[in-house]
Amino acid sequence: MSQATVTTGIPSQAGPKPAPPTPKRRKLTPPQWMQQFAWRHVVMAVAAAYALFPVAYVFGAAFNPVNGIGGTEIWPKNPTLDNFRNLLTDPNQPFANWYRNGVIVAACASVFNVLLGSCAAYAFSRFRFKGRKVGMMTLLFVQMFPSFLALTAIYIIMGQVQDVFPAIGLDSLGGLMLVYLAGAMGVNAWFLKGFFDTVPMELDESAKVDGATHGQIFWGIILPLSAPVLSVTGLLGFTGTLNEYVLASRLIQNPEKRTLAMGLQQFINGQFDKRWGTFSAGALLAGIPVIIIFLILQRNIVSGLTQGSVKG
């Protein structure tokens, strides 16, 4: 007969095992630190200098009293605002009109690009219909060819549209925005669809159980959760449209309707040695809207993904 185990009822005094002590990090000697980490700092410094040198060069030229490319310094000895005054007060060069036209066209084009691209991406991501794959591949195939390859066809089409709807035809800002929308539609739809596919379908199904329509799901669930990718798409669209020159130079002929990139190019065309400082001042002013939009959208870009999640 085996001996029975006696239970005293007294709780064991043995508590949880203490956590093992955190090993102390071995302090690196200066030669070891140089060997393991110094090269990273060197690479970072070289890359930063390479990226910031053009910006510093243009910044110095904008405040340089010598309005020429030969006397440009990284930081002039006697900085002045004369280049900005000359740019804004020159009666023959309506910089204010160029600035306004460029910002309006870029802002409207980026907003509608995001809106139309989101609608197309939602349809391709959530619906299953005949011709879905063919449509997606067609959009991708069209994006293989740059838009300026069809410049002649676009020019003829816009000229014909002008005969019927002058407000959106040739030599109009509305027509230029329509051309920009058509050019960016495909790539935005593909870019946004890839993100929409990562949004769980369970959210759509739960909303449908509660009686939500596809429109309510799109505006109330998909778009708020897609704030990061929408912000990136809008920022890239705004920057690309603001800097675009090829299409604008062919579709806009009226000097009063020139965009910012087109106006600055015409301003300095063939006169680098006389207007380099003024041109640099205009380039600095052109970067202000991009910086403002980036600061506004920074929170969505950085933390938007962490704000939307599936909670059980």
Q: HSE (CB half, 13 Å, CA atoms) of 169?
A: 11
- Take residue 197 and report the two structure tokens written for it: 């596919």
Q: What is the CATH number of domain 91-305?
A: 1.10.3720.10
Summarised one tens digit per residue, pLDDT across range 118-177 is 998 998 888 888 888 888 888 878 777 777 778 888 888 888 888 888 888 888 999 999
- Say if CB 251 and CB 179 are below 8 A apart: yes
User: What percentage of residues in the chain have a pLDDT greater than 70?
Assistant: 85
Summarised one tens digit per residue, pLDDT across range 62-121 is 888 877 666 566 777 788 888 898 888 887 788 889 999 999 999 999 999 999 999 989
User: How far is it, in rounded angstroms, from Cα 238 to Cα 106?
Assistant: 5
What confidence category does residue 312 fall into, taking pLDDT thresholds of 50, 70 and 90?
Answer: very low
User: How far is it, in rounded angstroms, from Cα 78 to Cα 256?
Assistant: 34
- Say if CB 297 and CB 253 are below 8 A apart: no
CA dihedral 295, 276, 270, 274 (to 10 degrees): 150
Closest of 227, 231, 238, 237 to residue 187, by C-alpha: 237
User: How is the chain split into domains, by residue range?
Assistant: 36-80, 91-305
pLDDT at 136: 83
Per DSSP, 127 falls in state -
Give the H/E segment covering residue 177: helix 173-196
User: Scanning the structure block, which residue is given the tokens 């933390």?
Assistant: 303
Largest separation between any pair of C-alpha atoms in the chain: 115
